[in-house]
Structure 1
Amino acid sequence: MAGGKQSPRQKMINLMYLVFIAMMALNMSKEVLTAFGMINEKLADSNASVSERNEAAMAGLAAKADEQPAKYVPLKEKAEQIHDLTIQFTSYIEEQKQLALEDVGDATDYETMDQSAKLDELFFSSGKPSAAGREFLNAIETYREGVAGIIEEDFPAIAAEIRREFSTEPVEDREGVDKPWLEYNFQGFPLIASVTKFTQMQGDAKSAENDILSAMLSGQLQSEVSLTNYEALVIPDKTAFFSGENFTGTVVLGRVDKTLQFDKVVINGKEVSSTQAGQVKLEFPAGNVGENEIKGQLQFREGDSIVTIDVNKSYSVIPRPNSAVISADKMNVVYRGVANPMTISIPGVGNVSANAPGLRPAGGAGNYLMDVTTLQAREVTINVSGELPGGDKVSDSKTFRVKDIPRPVGTVRGEDGTVRMQRNTLEIATIGASLPDFDFDLNLRVTGFKIKVPGQPTVQVRGQQLDERAKGALRRAGRGEMIQIFDVEAQLANNSSYKLKQVSPVFVELTN
């Protein structure tokens, strides 16, 4: 179980699962989908190994029941009930997996399993659990309460752990909002991620059964069963590895002694009281992005003396993902005349430096502004560098196209193109310029324009409204005639030095 005794291999699988969920939130690539599939395969292999151990434990218990019926028959009966509940539950989960994969042609082609629609349609209806969703929740509850009820009296701690591990109570997300358990764990996830979670649930149930059998037998099973008390501990040389480098570490055997009680535990200078079953439960703020240390001491009494074991480990903290990284490759553009906002970061790196012509920090981690008004080149490259935990350097770059602000269009009363209005309305209307569908909200100021009335000389106007000469020419126009307003002079309100492209004309059809 995730909160009980686990093999280091299982812990590493769980860690990989969480890391890849974080990677998914940053960028759902085909490699991530394949990685989920590989994790699912490893979980399935691990589950098969646990099943073999459970079967061996059941066989050993049966042999002991034959030898000492009075002592072992009651344990054997409870073990068989738990075993049956576990088989029923894991078989039901297997049915859900097969149902989820029924439309998948190749169950090993993980890159095609990037959609969530199959399970969303199966488990949810109108934003609430469907009949199949309620059946799934009921199956979890039946298993949880069935197993916990059998062992409640003899092993209350394990029963409580099972209720916690298989709880279906609402879950608080990172924004502090309680979400239904089914929605939080399955809605909107890629198919391969949900299939992997199904496999993990099967593994949790099998591990729970193994924990219960171990507690029941208390080290009195045959030697092959008692060996499950030993775990292969994988100790990596560091807690985070990056693509392209080799994994380095060591494997040692360790034995978990649930009878051991610590007299004093100090971690990072603070005494820890949450110890149980020979284990110390740690919970403290993860710290800043980068490499962090766990230091302390474990003290326990051995005879008349106090034995002290030092704790000295390190771990890496990476930024919490809060948005997906989605980019349209053809839209890598920065514009002259405006301050282009940029967000620049490297996942897993706290301090990042970036440089390019016109680029400057804008306050806040990863926030920059880029002004390429004076840059004559058609492209600009942003170079980014940082230092990984452990001291390794990492760098990257990205090239953006440099473009001018698009051609503005003239407006009358805020309307462009051909506008129909009355003569007296045009006399008092404001002539303007706009940038329709442009990504930046720019304030354009008009300083002058020309107006052409059919049959009349062109009139040059200074300002944003018709002057007396323009109004005089307008009064000589007939109904239905088209008035042309062109050569609109406009500039950026906050950057008058930037020369905009020529403003498109606007036409007014008189309605009286």
Structure 2
Amino acid sequence: MAGGKLSPRQKMIGMMYLVLTALLAMNVSKDILNAFVTVNDGLEKTKNNFRDKNEDQYAAFQASYSENQAKVGPFYNKAMEVKKLADEIVNYIDQIKVEIIAGVEPSIPKEKIIGKDEFGSDTILNLMNVRVKDNYIVPTNILVGSEPANPKTGKYSALELKSKLEGFRDKLITYLPAESAIANSLQETFKFGEKRNASGVVENWPSYNFYGVPTAATVTLLTKIQTDIRNAESDLVKYLYASVDAASYKFNVLESAVISPSNYIIQGDTFRAEVFLAAFDSTKNPQVFLGEEYDSTNATVTGDTIGVEVQQGKGFIKIPARAEGDFTYEGVIKYKAPSGEINNYPFNVAYKVAKPSTTISATKMNVFYLGVDNPVDISAPGVAKDQITASISNGSISKSPEGWVVKPGKVGTANVSVTAEVDGKRQNMGSMEFRVKKIPTPIAEVSGKNSGAVPKNKLAATAGIIANMENFEFDVRVVVSSYDFVYVQANGLSKTISVTGPRFDDQVKNVLRAIAPGSRVTFENIKVKMPDGELRTLSPVVIKAI
């Protein structure tokens, strides 16, 4: 140190060396250096404690990962990367310690300096067993080199260590939210900027920490860095493990739930349902909104809204059925996430409203009549009417505004078969047999009577013969096509007048006006054409004029 211009730090180190020599003479150096041994032992214990706690955390992580790889996997993989990085750099620093101790204790083989402890982990020879604790040349040459202002590079150099530590820090920060407490702590712990020494001279990180520093202090500082690494590893792994459930909702009630598209199943079909556990928090009520439409942009419902009662974590929808038809509503459940953010869960409600109805059939009256529209009401429980289709074996069947209309083709029987669309498939809903009969023969009437006495003036004012469908509920009009009018002349002989159509012609009217009270007239051979085209002859009508 006598030749050349020395830097202030080199001058200070030289002075400290002289002081150290003096202290050695006073038997003080041993106690000071042994103090580093004590500090290093404490740091080693702390480092190992972190290592053991981290292993417990990894074991818990592994157990959770085994149970649910999809959920835990992303966080578990990051934790394994943190472990790999931490182990690599801790082992790297152990190798630096080996190089330093081997340099000051050449008589000790390197394989004796590092070995496995009782737990199978690598451990470094205790500083107490290093005799040359005050040697600063070896650690300085390994970590910094001869030029403190321009530290050496390469294997085991302080610059290489700094680069690895920066990479470790930066990688861990990528797993953290920006400006989080752990990220800020990492930035502060692994800060490698220039510093002023005791003399006020600005020095780079390698020189400030390792240039001219005795072996005991250097090893202790390296152990301290290892402890910082294990501490950072612990913080990251705990954070990642907590993140697995950080976004998970907490519920206190589990209930079985069964959801089926329909509770009404037709024979031959298959009952389908989803069965699962529904979880909710009975102590925390969500907000439930229901309306005509859901606005996903603003997360609100629009149109007429319906109030939804919420109790013990459940919403209860009650909508009065005031009209029949199909109804659809849209809504949203608003629930506060563990992060405090309000999450929106849209849903929709669809249902049908039908009028109360029942089907009552008179088994002896299942009759269709030829020639008229036979109204039929067809329904299937649980199926909307617009999903029903019908067919008939005799005649035709078609929809009408009020239901269905059957027009049979001939006398006999007719089978009406019904199918319906259920869950997208056509299902046979059954069939029913009906008798097909002719319309009853009407009754001929004159002046409202089919026989008996009629005042002469009323009889003379009558327009013609009417074919009355007495007690027949169908709206059927049958018209007389022809008839014979028979009366007794003044000479005592009967005369027949044949008339076409239902009306009284002039001959009939003249006779009716001229007959004496007590005279009888007969309307016979009365022909009518039925709606099905059949010609029928009605019973004669005998009227007495009074």
TM-score, normalised to structure 2, is 0.42
Structure number with larger C-alpha Rg: 2
Larger relative CO (CA 8 A, sep 6+): 1 or 2?
Answer: 1
